[in-house]
Structure 1
Amino acid sequence: MKGDDATSGDRGSGEATGALAGGASAGVGPVGADAETVGAVDSERLARVALTRVIEPGDERGGRWLRTHGAVELMRRLTSPEDPDDPLTGASTARLATYRRRAAAADPEQDLAALADAGGRFVCPGDSEWPGQLDDLGDARPVGLWLRGPADLRIWALRSVAVVGARACTPYGAHMGAGLGAGLAEKGWVVVSGAAAGVDGAAHRGALAAGGATIAVLASGVDVVYPRGHTELIGRIAEQGALVAELPPGDHPTPSRFILRNRVIAALTRGTVVVEAAYRSGSLATARTAQRLGRHTIGVPGPATSGLSAGVHELLRGEAVLVTDAAEIVELVGEMGELAPARHGPVLPRDLLGPATARVLDALPGHGEAPVRAIARDAATTEDEALNRLYELHSLGFVEREGDRWRLTSSALRLPGARRGGA
């Protein structure tokens, strides 16, 4: 591992490098591993903790450096004088200076201690709890994830669906978000969303109300409650499910961090369901990322006149699949045989008649009576056949006989689809 070099040479100015060299309290190494291996693992973990203070979510330049050099070596380079023969490339002098200032100020030991006090933990690639599907993000993959809650993130994410939508949603959007959250939870699926106002919060609440599992991916540190109105909701998720964040403890959300957070929601789950979204909604970014990653992209239709459904309808005109309930979502993202029930309208008594009998029934006038001859003519059949069908209809309560003439019963006239016109 290149990170082994962190214990030699010029360590630079910053407390982070000293912590990396020691490796104490950085985490637990592999069972049965020797001290050197454990030290390398712990140093890698500490370096990644520090880098969450340095590299912004979704920063592909930083992700490329991390992939190329490893976490420990990257931190060494950022906290040491630049090697003119082997510089970090792809960033301007001013931008690189920003990385260096952040690296010098990082204190991974303090961040780990702060999160431990809040009942949290840090996971990174190589850990048993790391969800491998996040690797699909390439260089935009998170450096690591800060977690709060009892859920095992990797296990829960294996059978999860994202439900996202507008913050300023309509009552319809809130109703659908809650209904889908509850329906998915009842079918054993984990509901993933962003804990935001509107559809996100409704989906989380629906899952919790159904006694189900839910994960909130935050655009802040896992110890920061945003929005404030969701203090109780976020607390319940931390107690029963999982709070997930790329940002270290104490960091606050910004507009760009909300957008970048969405790529984690898309990558973590099997599919993304958008309930309500205007043309410029961040929920559409989540859906399009899911699409690029080969995940299912799913939309819930709304009124054609609603601006909050315009973005969803645009998705549905493309690659997204229309759904109306949890069963239809599971049919898309679930295993073979997890099918939604067949949908059809009500079965009417007339639907059970054979074609020839139905033609005779149609030949009777809506009002008044008719002789067999006229009925047979209008039904394009013989009088004997018409009479046979009329007695069948009589036994079923559709018609009655008056002398040598026939008419519809009053109950038949009240049936849906009955003829209302004259003879």
Structure 2
Amino acid sequence: MRDGAGDELIGRVFLARVIEPGDEVAGRWVREAGVAEVVARLRGGGEALAGVSATRWGGLLARARRADPERDLAVAEAAGMRFVCPGSGEWPCQLDDLGDARPLGLWVRGRPSLRIWALRSVAVVGARACTEYGAHMAVSLAAGLAEHGWVVVSGGAYGVDGAAHRGALGAGGATVAVLACGVDRPYPRGHTELITRIAEQGLVVGELPPGEHPTPSRFVLRNRVIAALTRGTVVVEAAHRSGSLVTARAAQRLGRHCMGVPGPATSALSAGVHELLRAEAQLVTDAAEVIELVGAMGQLAPERRGPVLPRDLLAPAARRVLAALPARAAAAPAEIALGAQTTEDDAIARLYELRALGFVERHGDDWKLTRQATASVHRGRPRG
């Protein structure tokens, strides 16, 4: 005899076979009537629950007649999978933010705790047909996040997704693939080896029961799980109609951080990212900038500065005198003092100081930049 928790699990496994991911009407049934009542109504074949047509109810009943939750659990166990229910110890509570679109449960392959890993995770998503630049940025971001102890979440697809998973694995870090099919049948098939490796070293997660295949709508609905599971979503490359923009916008709606990596202004594969950046997304270029947004207070990215030049180390008065010297010709102290807005005596004192440091040399009564100093001094001057 099963206990209440066992009945709840069996019921949710049954519903996962009958109801499509993200079905908010069915989610409302579960919330208002409970799992047991919804299962009983579907198995009994009686009057339709509220909010569906007779045709759709008939389709659900047909699915219910074919559902066998005990068999699904047996197949899952043989494949090294488990079913994680809302309210269980491994359930990531942030998925509850999806409301009635919350998954009925998640099928999981891999040893780590999904709840623990999700607490410190970032999604890295983007174009399937990405450029070399996109793949490089995805690998670099994922590796940097993994090296700092963050879990990289993506969709297991070709392009940016695969590059992100490989970047995390290559850095010896943690990664989670959220699939739009049964997690016992890796998709795309060309990523079978990669997804198998993720299952061995990380986690492979999905809403659909064993053996289920992906469809376009399931890919779109999968993206809400990626967005809700993580602290923020980074879009590396995305055209205007890219599915990764669905993930980014879901992250925005859920109050998660939404970030984008800029690309060339002429690249159609970056057009969608640039549109995000024009709206509400934050621009990021490396893992440190991502962590500054999603991490704890005070985890700031290093300040970006150009190289320190020798003249940067001079006192302000000496820098003004140095800047007043012409690029090629010699100049008299009076002319230099005028340009530096100081007295002639002060200019002469600064010029002797600059000569000792190798910046200037004396030519009779005039002064001139040394050859070595010319390039350094005038490199940072604005050009008109």
> TM-score, structure 2 length as denominator?
0.96
Quick one: which of 165, 171, 176 aligns to 2:126?
Answer: 165
Q: Which residue of 1 aligns with 2:46?
A: 82
Alignment of 1:207-286 (within 5 A): 207-286=168-247
- In the TM superposition, residue 418 of structure 1 has moved relative to its aligned partner by 4.9
| Cα deviation 1:20-50 (Å, max 9, x = unaligned) | xx54xxxxxxxxxxxxxxx222111101101
Letter in 1 for 2:229: L
Quick one: which of 265, 270, 274 aligns to 1:309?
Answer: 270
Quick one: which of 118, 140, 164 aligns to 1:179?
Answer: 140
Distance 1:345 1:72 in 2: 64
Distance 2:214 2:288 in 1: 34
Letter in 2 for 1:399: V
Of 230-239 and 406-415, more deviation after overlay is shown by 406-415
Is the 2:323–2:377 Cα contact (8 Å) retained in structure 1? Answer: no
Structure 1 residue ranges without an equivalent (≥5): 1-21, 24-38
Q: Which residue of 2 aligns with 1:364?
A: 325
- In the TM superposition, residue 419 of structure 1 has moved relative to its aligned partner by 9.5
Distance 2:18 2:200 in 1: 29
- In the TM superposition, residue 403 of structure 1 has moved relative to its aligned partner by 2.7
Is the 2:143–2:167 Cα contact (8 Å) retained in structure 1? Answer: yes
Q: Which residue of 2 aligns with 1:394?
A: 355
Is the 1:207–1:213 Cα contact (8 Å) retained in structure 2? Answer: yes
Is the 1:366–1:419 Cα contact (8 Å) retained in structure 2? Answer: no
Distance 1:378 1:134 in 2: 65
Q: Which residue of 2 aligns with 1:50?
A: 14
Distance change (3 Å), C-alpha of 1:323 and 1:89: same
Alignment of 1:123-202 (within 5 A): 123-202=84-163
Q: Which residue of 2 aligns with 1:410?
A: 371
Is the 1:157–1:190 Cα contact (8 Å) retained in structure 2? Answer: yes
Letter in 2 for 1:263: R
- In the TM superposition, residue 396 of structure 1 has moved relative to its aligned partner by 1.1
- In the TM superposition, residue 348 of structure 1 has moved relative to its aligned partner by 1.2
Q: Which residue of 2 aligns with 1:36?
A: none
Whichever of the two has the greater Rg, that structure is 1
Distance 2:84 2:126 in 1: 28
Distance change (3 Å), C-alpha of 1:357 and 1:191: same
Distance 1:127 1:113 in 2: 20
Q: Which residue of 2 aligns with 1:327?
A: 288
Q: CA RMSD in A?
A: 1.4
- In the TM superposition, residue 151 of structure 1 has moved relative to its aligned partner by 1.3
Distance 1:390 1:69 in 2: 87
Query: Quick check: 1:41 aligned with 2:2?
Result: no
Of 358-367 and 252-261, more deviation after overlay is shown by 358-367
Distance 2:166 2:272 in 1: 24
| Cα deviation 1:285-310 (Å, max 9, x = unaligned) | 00111111110111111111111111
Query: Quick check: 1:95 aligned with 2:87?
Result: no
Q: Secondary structure at the match of 1:52?
A: helix
- In the TM superposition, residue 333 of structure 1 has moved relative to its aligned partner by 0.3
Q: Which residue of 2 aligns with 1:7?
A: none
Is the 1:413–1:419 Cα contact (8 Å) retained in structure 2? Answer: no
Is the 2:327–2:378 Cα contact (8 Å) retained in structure 1? Answer: no
Q: Secondary structure at the match of 2:252?
A: helix
Quick one: which of 90, 103, 116 aligns to 2:77?
Answer: 116
- In the TM superposition, residue 81 of structure 1 has moved relative to its aligned partner by 3.9
Q: Which residue of 1 aligns with 2:66?
A: 105
Is the 1:58–1:141 Cα contact (8 Å) retained in structure 2? Answer: yes
Letter in 2 for 1:417: H
Structure 2 residue ranges without an equivalent (≥5): none
Is the 1:372–1:386 Cα contact (8 Å) retained in structure 2? Answer: yes
Is the 1:131–1:268 Cα contact (8 Å) retained in structure 2? Answer: yes
- In the TM superposition, residue 89 of structure 1 has moved relative to its aligned partner by 1.0
Is the 2:125–2:244 Cα contact (8 Å) retained in structure 1? Answer: yes
Q: Secondary structure at the match of 2:334?
A: helix
Distance 1:107 1:217 in 2: 24
Is the 2:311–2:377 Cα contact (8 Å) retained in structure 1? Answer: no
Is the 1:412–1:418 Cα contact (8 Å) retained in structure 2? Answer: no
Q: Secondary structure at the match of 2:17?
A: coil
